[in-house]
Amino acid sequence: MAAQAPASQRVITQSKDSLLKTYQKRLKDDVRSMIDNYVEIIKLCKIEETTQITRACQMEQDQYEMQVRASNIVRAGHSLMKLIADIRQFLILNDFLSVNESVTKSSHHYKQQVKDSDIKLASIRDEMAVELYELEEEYYTSVYK
């Protein structure tokens, strides 16, 4: 059983590493797509004097290409937002160190509260025992019993 634990830990680590590499690849691809499309839109802003098609056709073609490239930029932006959500979910589900640290910190806090409560209860018990002894002594020495 002890031999299986390191093997399973190694598999989990490998899957985390491959997932992180996938995230990095998605990030690079989406950013590259945004930059490439933006550069191409900027290139379309150049006016060429000599073309084989009319200026109106060229403008329509450029406008259509700009719309396609702008939608590609938006799609890459949406993909980046999805990537951010995936990374957040990954951190929430796989950040065992911070979860364990939080649980340990809470456990220590509650153990300290238990110790403080026990000390206070013991103090109250001792005070009540002294008071009860004094009351019993007063009662048994009283003439009204």
Q: What is the pLDDT along the chain (145 residues), one digit of tens a residue?
A: 445 556 655 666 777 788 889 999 999 999 999 999 999 999 888 877 777 778 788 888 889 999 999 999 999 999 999 999 998 888 877 777 777 888 899 999 999 999 999 999 999 999 999 999 998 888 888 887 6
What's residue 37's pLDDT?
Answer: 94
pLDDT value of position 1: 46
pLDDT score at 117: 96
* Single pTM value for the model: 0.56
Nearest to 34 by CA among 64, 70, 67, 87: 70
CB atoms within 10 A of CB 80: 16
Q: How far is CA 136 from CA 121, 130, 140, 142, 144, in A?
A: 22, 10, 6, 10, 13
Q: Can you give the pLDDT at residue 58?
A: 84
Rounded to whole angstroms, the Cα distance separating 39 from 32 reads 10
Name the residue among 14, 28, 24 with its Cα closest to residue 86.
24
